[in-house]
Structure 1
Amino acid sequence: MASAPPIGSRSPGPRIGRAGAVTFGLVGWLFFVEIVSGLLQGYYIPLVSPLARVLGIDDPQFNWFEAAQLLVSAIALPVLAKLGDMIGHKRILLISSALTAAASWWLIFAGDFTSFLLAWALQGFYVVWLPLEVAIIFSRARSTGVANATTRRAAGLLVVALQLGAIIGALLGGRLLDAFGGATMPTLAIPAIGVTLVFFVVLFGVPKTAPEVGRRTLDLGGFALLGLGLLLITSSLTFLRINGVGAWWVWALLAAGLLSFLPFGWYELRRKDPAIDLRVLRTPSMWPVQTTAGLFGISVLGAQVPLSTFVATDPAAGYGFGLSASSVSNLIGAYLLSVIIGAIAFSFVARRTTPRLTLIGAAMLVGVGYLMFIPFHGTVVNVVVNMLVAGLGSGALLAALPAAAAAAAPLGQTGIAAGLTNTTKTIGGSFSSAIFGVALASGAVGAVATAGSLAGYYTVWLICGGTAIVSAVLLVFVPKLAFSDPPLVEERTGTEAP
């Protein structure tokens, strides 16, 4: 029989060893899944104009595809995440990857606007992959005693994979189209093949997670009310971007969407197993995280297009640098590199401080980075420095928010908690896309009739920076040791190890 460790020594290593096994054994498979997820997000960007020509539409009409996918993603994500908690996260990951693969293959043969719109919208099921992966990792690591630290480290690696996939996709899309002589069918087959491989990687490489005992009913009424609210809000924001602030019915639609959450809340608080447990959402460890995710979506999903148009604008407009498309790509690449560094650094910094303080610091970096644009935007170096600062914070938040939500959730609700960070982030991105579009479309400037006003860019930077600072303030209200693992405890003495 093995002897007990000496009194005063640390507990033996299986706890940390098992956590390492969870990280490197499981994340290796999930790393590939997120590479493909990033590929889907970056691959189609350089193909927008060629695909529009094939479909016989103008470039701006392509926004309808993005709006449809956003709507499907926002509504489907909480339902799928909840089903993951009920019947197993791997099972729903398989189903969502199969649906995404089917939609990706459909895109190849969709030769008209309507069928392409439906296929593109259904491809949005991939947004649930990361929350489900976080839930799988947290569930597998729960018995190690360091589930929170393990999940933070693994989430950072998954965000790295996501960003690498986006870079690879952006680089491959246009080049493969040229290599195939402008033929869109073989070009679109590449992401379809990738998603198909995801299905088999999940099937054979990802272990099962046991569903929570007793959770066998889906709150269809709650999800119907939630879906109605999300439908009204996302639709109103899309129409706001298209019709502008002068359309009163757009604001009425937005108000109806917001008001729909009143009956939703009344209904959910009376359910034994609600679609969204509002009692959990209002705990001090959860509501600041979900609010931060929504505010963070404003900058991480809404600021990249304004950045690109700002640096590409002809200086004759009174601002901008007239950068070529390749130079803009290099600038975006530098930003994504800083996002990767921030995602990797988060778990290391959290280990030496606390997850709460690291979250606050990450939000502050995002806020400072964007607010620096207001006085410092006159040179390319200014822009690069500002984006590197914001990118470090953004990478940390991308990794931290789903992991923090999973850590704050009760047993059996990790999937839906992590998924809600994506839902609120998406709503924040929809809001910023609509508001920024209106702010920048404020009329001709100088000698460049197509350029927006510099005041519009000030609005973008102020909103992005201000909402990030507000997030940092809200995170102060999180309990000091939230999202931390319990201290290492001596089994023999019941005292904390030194």
Structure 2
Amino acid sequence: MARRSLGALTGVVAFLAFVEFTSGFIQGYYTPMLSDIARHLGVTDADVNWLEGSQLMLSALVVPALAKLGDMVGHRRILLWSTAITAVATLALPFAHTFPLFLAAWTLQGVYVVWLPLEIALIWSRTADQENRAAVTAKAAGLLVAALETGAISGALLGGLLIDALPILPVLLVPGLLVAACYAVIAIGVTESPVQLGGRLDFVGLVLVSFAIIAFTGGLSLLRLGGTADPLAWGVVLLGLLLLVPFVLWELRHADPLIDVRLFRSPALAPVFLTATLFGMSVLGAQAPLSTFMRTDPEVYGYGLGTRGFVTSLAIGVYLIAMVIGALALPRCARLLTPRLTLAGAAILIGVGYLMFLPLHHSYLQVVGNMVVVGLGSGALVAALPAAAAAAAPADRTGVATGLTNSTKTLGGAVASAIFGIALMQGTTGAADGGTAGSFEGYVTVWLVCGGSALVAAATLLFIVPKHAFQDRAAVSIPH
């Protein structure tokens, strides 16, 4: 029986790998052309962070709801819904000729971030008869992330090649066609989870957390517009934090909450969510700054590499190959070192890699070398965090727990994106082309924040997480 189950699981993982290939393609495809998109829409490099920040904000809002709905009505069903929404938004991008319209479509495209936690929940639901359930799920997660990064490599290389050869409008059409194909693959090849919990969605909780996140990230956006001395912006940020209080109180009283906030009090889960938040600052928030730094002309601004789209995509491709290696090495390292130490080591690699940018940013090889170090750690963490959450969560809340890893990660990325946007706008260098590049001091801020946040995550995993966390065990106790 276990052997037949494992064979069926292999088939499901193969179809889900195509979904993650598509997810990676979306993430990699646009990165080498962000400066071209900015020029096409008539905005500066610093404004590209609006795209990242708005998409991550929406992701932080929808992932808890969609992950909860996956537990309630079926993970495959929600996977199909989210893919349909992503396809519509992605196909709309080539026809959005103004920045507000492009921003709206780009933001809606962010629904795809729920794919990976839904896939992990689908896999977890099919391993109930496996003795080494957590290890099997972690291995499957590593394969999915390898597919994701393979897609990201393919997307980055193709995007960089096409943007140098074709007008931007047909270039932007390619990802939408792939997402449409992805919908067909899910509909044909993926069966539903064996168990659906039913119940009703906590709409009050969804509204409360939405107001809190919108106010918090909206305040950060106001800081970007009005500067760090704007008292109104800081007031809105504080309001967003305060709005979390009624949300938490409501969730604690609700019989079937949108987000079981008691999960944040678990000794094993709480550090996972904190690590995901800190990790999101670098793996999501730094994507645009890395691309625009390489594209910046050093002869005009005194820093940057002045690379074209395809050369930029080659650097991104090397970074993503390092992520694939990190993801595939995760199961072996976890067996040798324990999952907790593996996660901590991955976070240390990210921290060291970003801090290496401070002295080593003057040549293409230096930047690529730094990105390889960051990529090895990032690939391991992308694969490990949802699997660790699934292993640490109660059996009836795996979808919620894995969804929360993505929610906290995207929220960290949204915060970092806003911070980086503000930093890159400060002291922007005027130039003949209108001063479209970000400031060098802003890039230094990016490297310091990414490096520092990763090292804090490593310290959390080393000194706070229980010694035997994320390993197979009978049950996890969630404090009440």
Quick check: 449-458 or 468-477, which moved more?
A: 449-458
Given candidates 90, 97, 122, the residue that maps to 1:104 is 90
**In structure 1, how many angstroms separate the alpha carbons of the residues matched to 2:249 and 2:136?**
37
1:302-340 CA-to-partner distances (Å, cap 9, x unmatched) read 233333444545178665454454433322222111111
**In structure 1, how many angstroms separate the alpha carbons of the residues matched to 2:114 and 2:26?**
13
**In structure 1, how many angstroms separate the alpha carbons of the residues matched to 2:407 and 2:123?**
20
Letter in 2 for 1:168: S
Question: 2:377 corresponds to which residue?
Answer: 393
Question: 2:10 corresponds to which residue?
Answer: 24
Question: 2:120 corresponds to which residue?
Answer: 134
Q: Does 1:416 align with 2:403?
A: no
**In structure 1, how many angstroms separate the alpha carbons of the residues matched to 2:241 and 2:315?**
37
Deviation at 1:104? 3.1
Alignment of 1:362-377 (within 5 A): 362-377=346-361
**In structure 2, how many angstroms separate the alpha carbons of the residues matched to 1:341 and 1:103?**
31
1:109-149 CA-to-partner distances (Å, cap 9, x unmatched) read 55666655443332222111111001101111122122211
Given candidates 217, 232, 235, the residue that maps to 2:218 is 235
Retained in 2: the 8 A contact 1:241–1:433?
no
Letter in 2 for 1:121: T
**In structure 2, how many angstroms separate the alpha carbons of the residues matched to 1:329 and 1:174?**
5
Q: Does 1:261 align with 2:244?
A: yes
1:328-353 CA-to-partner distances (Å, cap 9, x unmatched) read 33222221111111111111211222
Quick one: structure 1 residues 74 and 385, their matched pair in 2 at CA, closer, same or farther if it must change by over 3 Å?
same
Question: 2:478 corresponds to which residue?
Answer: none
Cα root mean square deviation, aligned:
3.0
Deviation at 1:232? 1.3
Retained in 1: the 8 A contact 2:358–2:447?
yes
**In structure 1, how many angstroms separate the alpha carbons of the residues matched to 2:76 and 2:329?**
28
Letter in 1 for 2:23: S
Question: 1:40 corresponds to which residue?
Answer: 26
Quick one: structure 1 residues 142 and 188, their matched pair in 2 at CA, closer, same or farther if it must change by over 3 Å?
same
Greater Rg over alpha carbons, structure? 1
Quick one: structure 1 residues 297 and 341, their matched pair in 2 at CA, closer, same or farther if it must change by over 3 Å?
same
Letter in 2 for 1:306: P
Quick one: structure 1 residues 381 and 188, their matched pair in 2 at CA, closer, same or farther if it must change by over 3 Å?
closer
**In structure 1, how many angstroms separate the alpha carbons of the residues matched to 2:423 and 2:48?**
21
Deviation at 1:240? 2.6
Alignment of 1:282-301 (within 5 A): 282-301=265-284
**In structure 1, how many angstroms separate the alpha carbons of the residues matched to 2:444 and 2:6?**
45
Quick check: 415-424 or 437-446, which moved more?
A: 437-446
Q: What SS does the corresponding residue of 2:396 show, helix, strand or coil?
A: coil
Which structure's relative contact order is higher, taking Cα pairs within 8 Å and 6+ residues apart?
2
1:350-408 CA-to-partner distances (Å, cap 9, x unmatched) read 12221111111111111122223334445544433322222111110011111111111
**In structure 1, how many angstroms separate the alpha carbons of the residues matched to 2:401 and 2:430?**
48
Retained in 2: the 8 A contact 1:31–1:158?
yes
**In structure 2, how many angstroms separate the alpha carbons of the residues matched to 1:115 and 1:299?**
27
Q: Does 1:462 align with 2:445?
A: no
**In structure 1, how many angstroms separate the alpha carbons of the residues matched to 2:341 and 2:316?**
28
**In structure 1, how many angstroms separate the alpha carbons of the residues matched to 2:128 and 2:411?**
31
Alignment of 1:302-313 (within 5 A): 302-311=285-294, 312-313=296-297
Question: 1:279 corresponds to which residue?
Answer: 262
Quick one: structure 1 residues 18 and 482, their matched pair in 2 at CA, closer, same or farther if it must change by over 3 Å?
farther
Retained in 2: the 8 A contact 1:132–1:415?
yes
Q: Does 1:87 align with 2:70?
A: no
**In structure 1, how many angstroms separate the alpha carbons of the residues matched to 2:400 and 2:314?**
36
Retained in 2: the 8 A contact 1:370–1:462?
yes
Deviation at 1:469? 1.3
Given candidates 182, 188, 210, the residue that maps to 2:167 is 182
Q: What SS does the corresponding residue of 1:143 show, helix, strand or coil?
A: coil
**In structure 1, how many angstroms separate the alpha carbons of the residues matched to 2:465 and 2:360?**
33
Deviation at 1:31? 0.8
Given candidates 216, 221, 231, the residue that maps to 2:199 is 216
**In structure 2, how many angstroms separate the alpha carbons of the residues matched to 1:177 and 1:322?**
16
**In structure 1, how many angstroms separate the alpha carbons of the residues matched to 2:468 and 2:38?**
51
Q: What SS does the corresponding residue of 1:274 show, helix, strand or coil?
A: coil
Given candidates 60, 78, 86, the residue that maps to 1:74 is 60
1:261-296 CA-to-partner distances (Å, cap 9, x unmatched) read 111111111111111111122101100000000001
Quick check: 196-205 or 288-297, which moved more?
A: 196-205
Retained in 2: the 8 A contact 1:37–1:165?
yes
Quick one: structure 1 residues 359 and 62, their matched pair in 2 at CA, closer, same or farther if it must change by over 3 Å?
closer
Given candidates 358, 362, 368, the residue that maps to 2:342 is 358
**In structure 2, how many angstroms separate the alpha carbons of the residues matched to 1:450 and 1:102?**
31
Question: 1:480 corresponds to which residue?
Answer: 467
Quick check: 396-405 or 64-73, which moved more?
A: 64-73
Deviation at 1:76? 1.2
Retained in 1: the 8 A contact 2:53–2:418?
no
Deviation at 1:33? 0.6
TM-score w.r.t. length of structure 2: 0.88
TM-score w.r.t. length of structure 1: 0.85
Retained in 2: the 8 A contact 1:355–1:482?
yes
Q: What SS does the corresponding residue of 2:233 show, helix, strand or coil?
A: helix
* Stretches of structure 1 lacking an aligned partner (at least 5 in a row): 1-13, 488-498
Alignment coverage as a number of residue pairs:
469
1:444-495 CA-to-partner distances (Å, cap 9, x unmatched) read 67999766665444433222222111111111322222221249xxxxxxxx
Q: Does 1:403 align with 2:387?
A: yes
Q: Does 1:200 align with 2:184?
A: yes
**Identity across matched positions, percent:** 51
Question: 1:493 corresponds to which residue?
Answer: none
Letter in 1 for 2:167: G
**In structure 1, how many angstroms separate the alpha carbons of the residues matched to 2:320 and 2:307?**
18
Question: 1:245 corresponds to which residue?
Answer: 228
Quick check: 424-433 or 29-38, which moved more?
A: 424-433
Retained in 1: the 8 A contact 2:135–2:331?
yes
Q: Does 1:341 align with 2:325?
A: yes
**In structure 1, how many angstroms separate the alpha carbons of the residues matched to 2:399 and 2:183?**
19
Quick check: 22-31 or 128-137, which moved more?
A: 22-31
**In structure 1, how many angstroms separate the alpha carbons of the residues matched to 2:157 and 2:57?**
27
